[in-house]
């Protein structure tokens, strides 16, 4: 293979002009849009607004108890 010949392989980095068109990672961290679910989808949610409020309160008061409860209710534990 001659110098400069990639042998049909892609170069390790894209050309400089394509990098200029890509947004930097910092701009991606500033996302402000909110995408609300469809009303039909929200109706079948597992938690009501009241449950969410209760869970937030418990989580703020005792994170360990909150996560223990979540694990007990939502994880299938078994011994192999």
What are the residue ranges spanned by the domains of the chain?
Answer: 45-75
Say which residue, 16 or 60, is predicted with more confidence.
60
pLDDT digits (tens, 9 = 90+) for 2-54: 555 555 566 565 555 555 556 677 777 888 889 999 999 988 888 888 999 99
- List, for residues 30-39, the tens digit of each pLDDT value: 888 899 999 9
Q: What does each C-alpha distance from 6 to 1, 2, 23, 52, 56 come to in angstroms?
A: 8, 8, 28, 56, 56
| Residue-averaged pLDDT of the chain | 80
Q: Can you give the pLDDT at residue 11? A: 59
CB 1 within 8 A of CB 7: yes
Structure confidence at residue 59 (pLDDT): 95
């Amino acid at each position: 293979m001659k110098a400069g010949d990639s042998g049909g392989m892609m170069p390790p980095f894209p050309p400089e002009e394509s990098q200029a068109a890509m947004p930097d990672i910092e701009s991606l961290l500033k996302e402000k849009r909110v995408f609300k679910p469809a009303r039909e989808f929200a109706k079948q949610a597992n938690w009501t607004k009241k449950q969410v409020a209760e869970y937030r309160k418990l989580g703020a008061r005792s994170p360990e108890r909150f996560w223990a409860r979540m694990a007990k209710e939502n994880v299938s534990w078994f011994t192999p």
